[in-house]
Structure 1
Amino acid sequence: MIISLSLGCGSLLYTLNNPDPATTIRAFCKLRMYILQSTFMMSRWMITIACVDRYASSSSNAGRRRFAHVRIARRVVIIIICIWLLLPLHTLIFYEIRPGGGVCGIIYNRAAALYHSSYTIITGGVFPLTIMLTCILLIRRNLTVKRNLLEKSKTECSSFQHIVTNVRIQRTRDQQALAMLLTQVTVYCFVQTPQFSYTLYAAIASNVTNKSPERLAI
């Protein structure tokens, strides 16, 4: 994410007093989009896998909790990085600069443009969001099961004051965990929707000729 922000903001600041390299240098156009695509997707899937990790760590099943081990998390991170270094390679092939239009995009291959937009929306939006929502439901179920067990222990061992305290602490943690996950998913949807809408529009309108200056700016 830091790489994406640095590259995006850095190139924008450079264009304040210089020609935009993304629309004047073919190699920069291709590499910029490849790096942005790779790093953004890596960050999205890191967040998604973090939700899966939270689900595993909240499970009462010892086998599932083993998936939340640091060693496994490191392997998953390496796999995600490798995958998203390979999947966006098509951007290096199909991204071009429209002559006279000042646009860097997939402009000569409509099928590639539709593939790019579909793959971006599905792998960067639909799949991560579905996994996050599923993890929220599963985590809520796990926390409910744990809370019920604590309540049962409280009933059976009402003489132990520390059990009552543990139940209250666990209830507070449950509420905080669910609130944090719901906020994360809400922010994710709010931030990503404009980009996915633009990606789909750009693919549909990529081969439209005689665009107005306003549409070219978009």
Structure 2
Amino acid sequence: MSSNINLTDMPFDDYLILSLNNISTQFNRYISILIFFFGVIGNIINIFVLSQKNFRTNSCGWLFLISSIVNLISLFFALITRIMNGWATDPTETIAWLCKFRAHIVFSSRTIALWLITFATIDRWFLSNINVHRRHLSTLKNAQRSAIFITIFSIILYAQMFYCYEANLMNTPLKCYGKTKVCRHLTDLSLTFITVLCPLFVMIIFGLLTISNIRQSHRRIQILKTENIDHSVNKSSGLSNENPQQKLKRKTDRSLLRMLFVQVIILTILTLPLSIQKLYSTISSENISPVEDAIDMFVYNMAILLYCISNGMPFYIYTLCGGTIFRKALSDFIQTMKRKIIC
């Protein structure tokens, strides 16, 4: 009863700060565990399913496979410490080298994961292009080169974490945080523009261009059909003489394109809040009230959790939107695991 009286008598600002901090703690305790559980399981299954030949030999499928591996790494390093912080002590808050290492892995893996999906969008644009030379750029080798490039770039981009991030800080949003104003602005702007906004912008542009390519291809086929040269259409498109392997490849390409479009839309929804929050914190005044600071921290925590959902959602998108191709591959994987367990 006395605790209720204390809360009632508490000034509104103090009550609001206490409430926001409590909600953040509860989300770190329970929602983080759910995201981690479903995200890790989903990414592990993704890795096994996408490792099957018809996916791993496809340039877009291979990029999905590597992004699932990177998402798994990102979830481990981003969420385990948040879960620990909700229940006990986060070691990255007090151990300097662990603080620096975790920050570098989290930021670089987020960059790699988002840009891999961006390269998958560009790959689908190449594949859907009317220009045959551009279609030939959709290759597994180019996908592998893109993955190597963005991995090296991301590691170099966030190498500054080993200098900028420090443990045991006071008067900062987190105890493991950028130790100077310049460091914080550099990290926030890198995350906002290079990690989130640039890849999202490229995804949207090439997604629209891919849709335009598909519409152009459909219009060409319709025009040819009205001129009564259906036989030439079939021959030029290669549909009449397709063998089963070519049909499977074409069906896989369509499934991957559908999976990609849905993933781009959901990624945009889930990753934009963090970039907006980081941009706001960069341009806002540092002399803010305790209430504003608590609200900013609450929004930051929610944005982080949304971003982590984006790392854990691909399997569920692929299952729902991947059509019979992905679901059949998933079923084959489950049947193989059952046989191994029985044996």
Bin the TM-score by the shorter chain.
0.7 to 0.9
Aligned residues between the structures: 209
Shift of 1:128: 1.0
Residues 16, 115 of structure 1: CA spacing in aligned structure 2 closer, same or farther, 3 A cutoff?
closer
Shift of 1:177: 8.2
User: Is the CA contact (8 Å cut-off) linking 1:110 and 1:207 kept in structure 2?
Assistant: no
**TM-score (normalizing by structure 2):** 0.53
Match of 1:35 in 2: 105
- Aligned 1:183-198 pairs, distance under 5 A: 183-198=262-277
For 1:203 and 1:95, how far apart are their aligned partners in 2?
A: 17
Shift of 1:37: 0.4
Structure 2 residue runs without a partner (length 5+): 1-70, 240-253, 299-343
Match of 1:153 in 2: 224
Does 1:127 find its partner at 2:198?
Answer: yes
**TM-score (normalizing by structure 1):** 0.80
The residue type paired with residue 214 of structure 1 is A
The residue type paired with residue 149 of structure 1 is R
Shift of 1:179: 6.5
Structure 1 residue runs without a partner (length 5+): 167-174
The residue type paired with residue 182 of structure 2 is A
Q: Note the alpha carbon deviations across 1:181-210, whole angstroms, 9 max, x for none.
A: 553332112111222233235545796598
* Residue identity (%): 24
User: Is the CA contact (8 Å cut-off) linking 1:4 and 1:39 kept in structure 2?
Assistant: yes
Q: Note the alpha carbon deviations across 1:12-50, whole angstroms, 9 max, x for none.
A: 333455311121111111111110001010000001000
Does 1:139 find its partner at 2:210?
Answer: yes
For 1:112 and 1:150, how far apart are their aligned partners in 2?
A: 55
Match of 1:23 in 2: 93
User: Is the CA contact (8 Å cut-off) linking 1:30 and 1:91 kept in structure 2?
Assistant: yes
Query: What SS class does the counterpart of residue 89 from structure 1 fall into?
Result: coil
Q: Note the alpha carbon deviations across 1:120-159, whole angstroms, 9 max, x for none.
A: 1111222112211211221122112111111122112267
Match of 1:61 in 2: 131
For 2:296 and 2:95, how far apart are their aligned partners in 1?
A: 18
Structure 1: 4+ residue segments shifted above 6 A:
175-179
Aligned alpha-carbon RMSD (Å): 3.2
The residue type paired with residue 263 of structure 2 is Q
User: Is the CA contact (8 Å cut-off) linking 2:203 and 2:264 kept in structure 1?
Assistant: yes
